[in-house]
Amino acid sequence: MKFCLITLGCPKNQVDSEMMARLLVDAGHQAVAEPTSADVVIVNTCAFVHDARDESLDTLEQVAGQLRTDQHLIAAGCFPQCDARQICRRVPRVDGLLGTRSWAQIVEVVEQVAAGDGTRRIQHVAEGNLVASVARTALTGPTAYLKIADGCDAHCAFCAIPAIKG
């Protein structure tokens, strides 16, 4: 199956996208650059600030509006983790939701979405902290981000990271 991964937001999302792509490739799926060439489009969203949420919803709506009937759309990352309901209301064409603490289940979600009949939305939005390890290799170019932490446990009044990333 061909997949296209669109990444929004911070470098942590870029790392999560690279690891999801690695899992998909290792499972035999093929990465493509253009959504029009994909069987499934995955948008790794950001929800840190209001503008990021707007960009995520706009991107999901734009992609959904361009999908063929045989294509699937998965919303991944921060936005599904903190407000999956809003995505479902605004973008009913989303076939699957995958939170920041569940990205390691990307292969399962992609395969469930592709095998489904389109009447059931697949949702993996976990509580707690993600414990996953994926062998890191740069997918494009000679460099790659090294993520040393997911989230933060200092619940500062001005920051949403603990609620989003754990």
- Give one DSSP letter per residue of 92-116, joined into a string: TT--EEEETT-GGGHHHHHHHHHHS
The whole model's pTM is what?
0.84
User: For residue 137, is pLDDT > 80?
Assistant: no
> Which pLDDT belongs to residue 141?
65
**% pLDDT > 70, the chain:** 72
Q: Tell me the average pLDDT across 10-18.
A: 87
> Which pLDDT belongs to residue 69?
92
What are 27-62's pLDDT values in tens digits?
A: 999 999 999 999 999 999 999 888 989 999 999 999
> Which pLDDT belongs to residue 12?
83
> What's the gap between Cα 102 and its chain centre?
9
What are 73-109's pLDDT values in tens digits?
A: 999 998 998 898 999 999 999 999 998 888 889 999 9
> Which pLDDT belongs to residue 103?
85
> Which pLDDT belongs to residue 121?
73
Per-chain mean pLDDT for the chain = 84
Helices (H), 30-100: 50-66, 78-90
Q: Which tops the pLDDT comparison, 127 or 18?
A: 18
CB 78 within 8 A of CB 55: no
CA–CA gap between residue 145 and residue 18 (Å, rounded): 9
DSSP-assigned letters across all residues of 111-159: HHHHHS-SSS-EEE---S----------SSSS-------SS-S---TT-
